[in-house]
Amino acid sequence: MKNTKFITLGFTSVALALTLFMGSSLFAESSVKDAESSRLQSLAKFTKVLSIVEQYDVDEITIEQLIDKALDGMMKNLDAHSNYLTAKDYKRLKVQTSGEFGGLGITVGMKDGALTVIAPIDGTPADKAGLKSGDIILKIDDKSTLGMTIDEAVSLMRGKVGDPIDLAIVRKGENKPLDIHIVRGIITIESVHAKMIGEDILYLRVASFDQKVAADVTKEIKKHKKTTKGIVLDLRNNPGGLLDQAVELVDIFVDKGKVVSQKGRHESDDKTYSATSSATLTKVPLVVLINGGSASASEIVSGALQDHKRGVLVGENTFGKGSVQVVLPITDKEAIKLTIARYYLPSGRTIQAVGVKPDIIVAPGEVTTHKNEFAIKEADLKQHLQEELEKVDGKKAEKKAEKKDKKDIITPEMLNKDIQLKEAVDIIKALVIIKG
């Protein structure tokens, strides 16, 4: 009986398992059928709407035009950086990435639905005309930017060298829109600038991430390595650029660990970039300057250095552009630009929409000083040590100063005009003292 009972129970278990398996298979098959049915219903609904609009819209419109409008609306509603590229748009994009053209020298993005200046590029017509990070562009030559894509706006701002353009902008702190007149020019960017602050602080300004950034920064660090006790890395108004250059720049300061990871919907889109000890050049104290114009690659650099506790971040919160876009052709002449992944910093936090927060928040501006005209010092007394003063303030000091080109140094007066940089230098000096 026991054996019979065991066999009966065994049969029941097998039967139950078989029933569950068949049920699972039927459920999976049913789910696939439901998904396919839903897809067909959605396509039927889309086709029906197209037919109704084509037949009854007040303006005569072709099915090709309707499809283009539908695709355009769909891509725009995915996120601020995805869009449908018509034949004209796709051709324009190719010119922007490979041809020579006249432009203003600004990077723009969509922020809260408004066309916003991420950053003007150093020395360009936009920079000279006074455009600032955070400016909202309302009009481009009397054309409203409401509902306009980034690519449409960029195409309007590009043009022949020497041609003028007028922008109406809204700026924080201003009571009414500002009109800015700019003359287009050839945009040539010198991405890395190096200067000395005092005798031992190296100032490195990285304006954008082009193909030579890591090599140029390496060159400057090696050139001043013997005298450098601290480095200020200025990424303010840096709109980004090449990811590999951002990774290599971090690698110069960090000897191991993750720099940034890229995660998408599919595993094939996931990538991780790490630092290597062989590429590390310096371990001197580092301060990184950031602001609202620091975006994309510059956010990866500043965020990675912050997560590795390799540098102190000073300034303002960054822009918050932490997504990856690719251009995917759909015909020989048309394409879509689609967001396929997001960037994540070594700690796992995202950049997208939140940006990177500085360790020390410092608003832009000048250092206010008050000179006391009535203060009496040792040098003002009759019996002051004239000979000793000459040793300190005399000809020897003047000769020493002559050795340096003014273009290669940042003077105390220049520091006082940039309170963020002044704060960075003070922090570097403190870190140097602590490090000994």
* 250 burial via Cβ count (<10 Å: 0-12, 13-18, 19+): buried
Is the residue at 23 inside a domain? Answer: no
Asked if 198 and 182 sit in the same domain, the reply is: no
Q: Which amino acid is at 87?
A: A
pLDDT-derived band at 190 (thresholds 50, 70, 90) equals confident
Asked if 144 and 249 sit in the same domain, the reply is: no
Active-site residue 298, yes or no? no
* CB-CB contact of 208 with 121 (8 Å): yes
Range of the domain at 345: 192-361
* E-strand stretches of 112-200: 114-120, 136-140, 143-144, 164-170, 178-183, 185-186, 192-197
**Active-site annotation holder among 127, 151, 307, 418:** 307
Which candidate, 410, 415, 409, 429, places its Cα nearest to that of 367? Answer: 415
Express as a percent the part of the chain with pLDDT over 70: 83
pLDDT-derived band at 420 (thresholds 50, 70, 90) equals very high
Which candidate, 303, 313, 297, 296, places its Cα nearest to that of 234? Answer: 313
The three state secondary structure string of 6-55 is HHHHHHHHHHHHHHHHHHHHHHHHHHHHHHHHHHHHHHHHHHHHHHHHHH
**Active-site annotation holder among 82, 155, 294, 296:** 296
Cα(143)–Cα(146) distance, integer angstroms: 9
Cα(217)–Cα(301) distance, integer angstroms: 13
pLDDT-derived band at 346 (thresholds 50, 70, 90) equals very high
Asked if 321 and 239 sit in the same domain, the reply is: yes
Is the residue at 330 inside a domain? Answer: yes
Asked if 321 and 337 sit in the same domain, the reply is: yes
**Active-site annotation holder among 111, 132, 321, 422:** 321
* CB-CB contact of 416 with 224 (8 Å): no
- Rounded to two decimals, what is the model's pTM? 0.75
Active-site residue 200, yes or no? no
Of 99-108, 260-269, 304-313, 415-424, least confident by mean pLDDT is: 99-108
Asked if 197 and 179 sit in the same domain, the reply is: no
Cα(363)–Cα(419) distance, integer angstroms: 8
pLDDT attached to residue 92: 74
Asked if 319 and 343 sit in the same domain, the reply is: yes
Task: Say how many Å lie between the first and final Cα of the chain, rounded.
Answer: 88
What CATH number has the domain bearing residue 249? 3.90.226.10
Tell me how many domains the chain contains: 2
Given 308, 329, 361, which residue is the final one in a domain? 361
Is the residue at 110 inside a domain? Answer: yes
Is the residue at 402 inside a domain? Answer: no
Q: Does the pLDDT at position 12 exceed 50?
A: no
Active-site residue 127, yes or no? no
* CB-CB contact of 197 with 432 (8 Å): no
Is the residue at 171 inside a domain? Answer: yes
Q: Name residues whose C-beta falls within 8 Å of residue 106's C-beta, 6 or more positions apart in sequence.
A: 117, 118, 119, 120, 121, 124, 126, 131, 157
Q: Model confidence over 25-78: pLDDT tens digits?
A: 666 677 777 888 899 999 999 999 999 999 999 999 999 999 999 999 999 999
